[in-house]
Each structure stands twice: as C-alpha cells, then as structure tokens.
Amino acid sequence: MKQPKNVRLFDHIFLTDDPDNNNVEAAVEKGMYRNFGKRVMDIVLVLVGLPFVLPVMFVIALAIFKSGGPVFYSQARLGLNGRVFRLWKFRSMVVDADEALADYLASNPDSAKEWQISQKLRRDPRITTVGHFIRKTSLDELPQLLNVLKGDMSLVGPRPMMPEQREMYPGTRYEKLHPGISGFWQISERNNVSFAERARFDSEYYNKLSLATDIVVLTKTLAVVCRGSGV
C-alpha cells in the first residue's frame, strides 16, 4: 500500500502533515498512549512529584497571603470536547483583576489592541510583586496539578482557553485534547505569537502526540522554569 506524503512515525502509526486528512485522524486517535498511557503518566508523575511540590506551594501560598487577598484564583476554561471546568492558579494579580483589565483597556487604546491580538499584555499593570516572580518561573501554575488529577487537564497539552475566546480560535484540534499545564505554545517564544496562531501549535501537538513528545516538552518546561522565561 502506498504511504501518504510527508509521513512521520509516532505511536507506531503513520501520520501526515495534513490536519484535515480523515484517515490520518482516525489512525491518530487509536494510539494506545493517547487513549490510555498519557492519563496513567499524568497521575503517576503528579503523585510522585507532590512530596517535592507541596512545600514549594506552601511557601508561595504564605507569601501571597501576607500580601493580602485570596491565595488562589479560579476561572472557567474549555476542556476536552468543549466541556467547561474550573482552572486553579496561585493569584498573581490584584483582587478584581478582570474588572481592572476592562478599565485599563478602556483608557489605553494601544494595550487594548495588544490584548485583542494576543489576549496577553507584555506589561500588565495588574500583576503584583509576588505575582511577577511566580509568573516568570511559571510557579503560579502549580495548583493546576489538582486539575490534572481530576482529569480536567494533562501535564502536556494546549494552553487552556476561556469560553469567550473560542470564537477567536480558528482551529479544531483544541477540543480533541486535554488542555495542558505545559505544551508546545508554553515552551515557545510565546510573547511573539498571536492568540489565533495557537491553533498551529495545537494541530502540531495533536499530530505528534506520543510518550517521546511529552517527555521532550516536560524537559523543556523545566528549562523554562529555571530560566524564568515564563509570562
């Protein structure tokens, strides 16, 4: 049988670079790691890492508590098959940050344009002193380990998006994956990527999803944390 153009071997099956190939998509979704092994790895790694992570989380929680306001922040995000779940993070912004953002964008047209394109601000005035540190080191994401244990998220996957952002997202692969604490976008030069361009990262990860891919992403995630290059 003739093999498709531009084939790669992942999860012991052939994939192509064409994300709209229905035969390829059907083959991809049968991968054992994708449907079973990935979930097992998530649970095992989180449970093994908790004894080391919990002391760090305690120190961060204490620092945020001393600065005043809630320690944690939760927000609705879209998960697998479009299901909405509550994502948890350490609070890195001022209290009532969503309201503060609306006021700030209303009075700063250039920042409003930046937000419209990337859904992020390079210089976000809402970030607290503690918040700057935990965001740079990506430690604000640690409470999402609970989301991973619950099955809302995976250690590796697309960047979780808010329900209202869905209409801005041009791809279809996001709903076929669990959002991840880390992923292709998270380890990229993410400040230079528009929100819509995230779809490219998600399609690439969807096609390349394998144990080897996830190990590479997790390894690079540690490098991002050590360099303090998060945002």
Q: How many CB atoms lie within 10 A of CB 27?
A: 16
Domain boundaries, the chain: 8-92+127-227
pLDDT per residue as tens, the chain (231 positions): 444 443 333 333 333 344 445 555 555 566 899 999 999 999 999 999 999 999 999 999 999 999 888 999 999 999 999 999 999 999 998 888 878 888 888 888 888 888 887 777 878 888 888 998 998 888 999 999 999 999 999 999 999 999 998 988 888 899 999 999 999 988 886 656 778 888 899 999 999 999 999 999 999 998 878 876 655
Under a CB-based contact definition with an 8 Å cutoff, are residues 13 and 30 in contact? yes
Cα radius of gyration rounded to whole Å, the chain: 19
CA distances from 21 to 10, 87, 125, 178 (A): 16, 32, 44, 21
Q: Return all residues near 70 (Cβ < 8 A) that are at least 6 apart.
A: 91, 95
What is the value of pTM for the model shown? Answer: 0.79
Q: How far apart are CA 224 and CA 229, in angstroms?
A: 6
pLDDT per residue over 118-160, tens digit each? 777 878 888 888 998 998 888 999 999 999 999 999 999 999 9
pLDDT per residue over 14-26, tens digit each? 333 444 455 555 5
**Beta-ladder partners of 86:** 76
**CA dihedral sign, ordered 109, 166, 74, 42:** negative
Q: How far apart are CA 230 and CA 223, in angstroms?
A: 10
